[in-house]
Amino acid sequence: MSDVVTKRVRERDKRNYRHIEVRPFAPNLGAEIRGIDLAEGLNEEQFEEVHHAFLDNQILFFKEQSEIPPATHIEIAKMFGELHFHPAAPGMDGYPEIFEIHAHAKSKIANGEFWHSDVSCDEVPPLGTMLQIHILPECGGDTMFADSYAAWETLSEPMREMLDGLHGVHESEHVYRGRYSDRGMEDEGKVYPSARHPIARTHPETGRKALYVNRAFTTGIAELAPDESSAILALLLAHAEHVDFQIRFRWEKNDMAFWDNRCAMHRALWDYWPAERKGNRVTIKGDRPS
């Protein structure tokens, strides 16, 4: 694939923020947020600016944070919408809304090792995810993010015309079956979600289109013949993961990342085994993709 195809200039909003400091993380994607400590909660004015920065940057990295108590983490997430409950993973004791991200020497899997948009197999997949990491390996355990607006916008016009109106098949049986058995989740007889979503997904708040397919959950293109589906999907996945659309975040203790699943994918690197990495994740329910 030619690099030229992926180049584009991204205009950031010129807004003056009064309650938070917003620094671009990379020219096209992500921003670092300073000036607030989420452990103290978010007031309405801070919320309004964080929400604006979130829509403008797709992924926010809150720096210089204290450890956020679970109840506060849940409260902040609820300001953005109703919460989403994971279809397979267990919730934290006393806080079912919190999904503990935890990998250590005895882990057989770590979460999010393949490019994905969280739980895209749900009929109504999550709007966004807030993850704070409390225990980090000495090095490694970075998370990569990719810009799905850029992926859509850099496809050629004939390709976009062909894809507009087609649907990706998103499945989860192959991802979730048996996955959390070491955390006490028995799933015999359980049916895991699957859904069909537009390949060109229109973001309900920005109105922009994003390429909505990902390697973990998307298994085909509903309207195409099997050979066409696998060839076109392979091309789209490779395009969506192009290095030009990526950023790689190196965590510091208590950083909080807040990503928009409607227009960005992510992938967590498990390069630190047998060291430990642990944090709390809360996910916000979104809209049915359209």
Would you name the residues annotated as active-site residues? 116, 118, 266, 281
Pairing of β 218-221 and β 21-24: unpaired
Question: Residue 120: helix, strand or coil by DSSP?
Answer: coil
Nearer to ligand SIN, 160 or 177 (CB): 177
Report if residue 111 touches ligand SIN, rule: CB under 6 A.
yes
Size of the site for ligand SIN (CB under 6 A): 9
**Are residues 218 and 117 in contact, defined by beta-carbon separation less than 8 angstroms?**
no
Alpha carbon separation from 163 to 63, 94, 146, 166, 227 (Å, rounded): 38, 44, 20, 5, 16
Distance CA 265, CA 259 (A): 9
Distance CA 88, CA 129 (A): 16
Nearer to ligand SIN, 22 or 101 (CB): 101
Residue nearest to ligand SIN (CB): 112
CB of 93 to ligand SIN, least distance (A): 20
Cis peptide before 274 (omega within 30 of 0): yes
For residue 156 the two structure tokens come to: 């050629």
CB of 147 to ligand SIN, least distance (A): 17
Cα 204–Cα 205–Cα 206 angle in degrees, nearest 5: 105
Q: Please, which of residues 117-136 interact with ligand SIN by CB under 6 A?
A: 129, 131
Question: Residue 236: helix, strand or coil by DSSP?
Answer: helix
CB of 76 to ligand SIN, least distance (A): 17
Distance CA 137, CA 253 (A): 10
Report if residue 268 touches ligand SIN, rule: CB under 6 A.
yes
CB of 143 to ligand SIN, least distance (A): 4
Nearer to ligand SIN, 7 or 278 (CB): 278
x/- mask, ligand SIN, residues 43-82, rule CB under 6 A, reads: ----------------------------------------
Distance CA 204, CA 222 (A): 23
Distance CA 23, CA 166 (A): 37
CB of 259 to ligand SIN, least distance (A): 9
CB of 131 to ligand SIN, least distance (A): 6
- Which of 33, 74, 101, 256 forms a contact with ligand SIN (CB under 6 A)? 101
For residue 102 the two structure tokens come to: 């935890």
> Element (H or E) spanning 264, and its range?
strand 264-268
Nearer to ligand SIN, 7 or 248 (CB): 248
Distance CA 88, CA 190 (A): 10
Q: Please, which of residues 138-167 interact with ligand SIN by CB under 6 A?
A: 143
Nearer to ligand SIN, 155 or 193 (CB): 193
Nearer to ligand SIN, 109 or 243 (CB): 109
Which residues of the chain form contacts with ligand SIN (CB under 6 A)? 101, 111-112, 129, 131, 143, 266, 268, 281
